[in-house]
Amino acid sequence: MRILITGGAGFLGSHLADRFLAEGHSVIAMDNLITGNTDNIAHLAGRPDFRFIRHDVTHYIFLDGPIDAVLHFASPASPIDYLKYPIQTLKVGALGTHNALGVAKHKNARFLLASTSEIYGDPLVHPQREDYPGNVVTIGPRGVYDEAKRFAEALTMAYHRAHKVDTRIVRIFNTFGERMRLDDGRVVPNFIGQALRREPLTVYGDGSQTRSFCYVADLIEGLFRLLMLPPSEDAANPVNIGNPNEMSILEFAKVVNMLTDNPAGIIFKKQDRIEGDPQTRQPDITRARKLLGWEPRVALHEGLQRTIRYFEGRV
């Protein structure tokens, strides 16, 4: 297969490129490098089965030759990024998705959309199932990301129904691992960076807010299986991919300190809650288990140890 990955120089896009190349496919990674980094794909430079194109996918995408699959992963994904680039986030969710779907339609290619657990907003249902419509504040600061992805899902299903494009939608829950940016503002690199600098970990509020953490290798396996499913109406509907093992942020901070032998402990800071910021986040992965035969395999401690080793040379 010849595969286009938008956002191909990002955290997840670069891991996807590695996986598809390892399976014998060829990859075109497309990225405007707003939040992506060519360091993530530097090890692939010079390979005949890999090509990098610097391009903003909110503009028309032209590619010669056949394309068998389009994986649309271009978007700022951390709060610090989409709050810094709110217009770009909305545009890549709308115009970027439209252009990527246009490539899939023109090339008769399979299409996979990277959606997010953020489409559930601050959920009133726990854990979150794919049929839960969400509790999202459309005009809040996080709305630029939430609504971009919700629109992208709607557009993907419109192309599936109106143009018969073979589509997939994955709702990605908190994922961590190598190639995350140390400064991307998410809790895993924040805590690991502080711990490796021997600083106390900063926990906002009392740390009772919960998250579930999926190691990147597990996520990539789920994405690979989803893309490779035979076409069906069931395959076109959204699928949660994430780790259902929920824990509090305070518990998570203690684990990071233990794994890094950080003696500085934890400090608590008061923070006014950001509108729409979820207090709980836990995927119901029943559908992924049934449809894909998938569930996470890498234990939290093992995934964190790998991630810590990656960050040790970057702090």
Residues acting as catalytic residues: 145
139: left (phi over 0), alpha (psi -120 to 50) or beta: alpha
Alpha-carbon gap, residue 139 to 156, rounded angstroms: 23
Per residue in 255-279, is it b (16+ CB within 10 Å) or e — as a string?
ebbebbebeeebeeeeeeeeebbbe
Alpha-carbon gap, residue 174 to 95, rounded angstroms: 25
Taken in order 105, 110, 115, 119, the sign of the CA dihedral is positive
Name, in order, each residue with C-beta under 8 angstroms of 162's C-beta and a sequence gap of 6 or more.
none
Instruction: Count other Cβ atoms within 10 Å, centred on residue 179.
Output: 20
Nearest to 38 by CA among 62, 60, 7, 66: 7
Alpha-carbon gap, residue 244 to 284, rounded angstroms: 7
φ/ψ of residue 29, rounded to 5: -100, 125
